[in-house]
């Protein structure tokens, strides 16, 4: 919750809504958070550095474009990133990599698609990384819960080993209303 509150810029927060005086609460009344801020803050809390890039394939759209998500999506993304980043921060090889984590973001059909590139881990990538843990010790990456959190809000999490490390595919729905953009 503290991370989410810190990521909400005052200009992105909706005014207080008096639900009793309205017939319904509209999508524009829902507080929104910029995904890039969530990414950077989650990495920083784990002691990691992060570079976030926006796919500039469409002319006129750049890094200043807002990538807003609802609070529920921001919280799910925060939980997933906390899981991913805490695994990296605990890894003796990955945490000493001089290069920052890198996330390339694009928007397609109202969904933010992020490719998160992480350094190589000291242990081999698990074959069943997204299966629920069955051991009483709870050892493992816990990616089952991270994926489940994102799927509960209409997103997804994928991952696979690449030569440079691990590439995570994050997908989350952008907020509807005026802040939603199609790139």
The 3 state secondary structure assigned to the chain is CHHHHHHCCHHHCCCCCCHHHCCCCCHHHCCEEEHHHHHHHHHHHCCCCEEEEECCCCCCCCCCCCCEEEHHHHHHHHHHHHHHHHHHHHCCCHHHCCCCEEEEEEEECCEEEEEEEEECCCCCCCCCCCCCCCCCCCCCCCHHHHHHHHHHCCCEEEEEEECCEEEEEEEEECCCCCCCCCC
pLDDT given at position 126: 66
pLDDT given at position 165: 85
Q: How far apart are CA 86 and CA 23, in angstroms?
A: 43
Domain span at residue 70?
2-173
Q: Domain for residue 182, yes or no? A: no
Could you tell me which of 130, 127, 131, 45 has the C-alpha nearest to residue 88? 45
Q: Domain for residue 84, yes or no? A: yes
pLDDT given at position 137: 55
Q: Domain for residue 23, yes or no? A: yes
Q: How far apart are CA 172 and CA 84, in angstroms?
A: 16
pLDDT given at position 176: 66
pTM for this prediction: 0.74
pLDDT given at position 7: 52
Supply the CATH number for residue 36's domain: 3.30.565.10
Parts of the chain with a pLDDT under 50: 9-27, 58-61, 177-183
Contact 121, 166 (CB under 8 A): yes
Q: Domain for residue 105, yes or no? A: yes
Q: Domain for residue 40, yes or no? A: yes
Q: Domain for residue 181, yes or no? A: no
Q: Domain for residue 82, yes or no? A: yes
Q: Domain for residue 183, yes or no? A: no
Count the domains in the chain. Answer: 1
Residue 172's beta-bridge partner residues?
112
Query: In which residue are the tokens 């816990």 written?
Result: 142
């Amino acid at each position: 919750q503290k991370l989410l509150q810190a990521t909400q810029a005052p200009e992105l927060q909706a005014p207080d809504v008096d639900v009793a005086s309205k017939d319904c609460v509209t999508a524009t009344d829902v507080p929104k958070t910029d995904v890039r801020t969530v990414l950077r803050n989650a990495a920083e809390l784990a002691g990691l550095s992060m570079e976030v890039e926006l796919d500039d394939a469409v002319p006129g759209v750049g890094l200043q474009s807002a990538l807003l998500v609802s609070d529920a999506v921001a919280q799910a993304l925060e939980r997933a990133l906390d899981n991913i980043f805490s695994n990296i921060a605990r890894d003796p090889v990955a945490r000493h990599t001089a290069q920052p984590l890198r996330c390339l973001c694009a928007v397609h059909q109202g969904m933010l698609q992020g490719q998160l590139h992480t350094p190589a881990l000291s242990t081999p990538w698990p074959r069943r990384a997204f299966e629920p843990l069955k051991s009483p010790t709870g050892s493992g990456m816990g990616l089952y819960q991270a994926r489940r959190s994102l799927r509960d809000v209409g997103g997804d999490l994928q991952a696979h080993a690449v030569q440079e490390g691990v590439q995570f595919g994050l997908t989350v729905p952008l907020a509807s209303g005026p802040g939603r953009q199609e790139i």
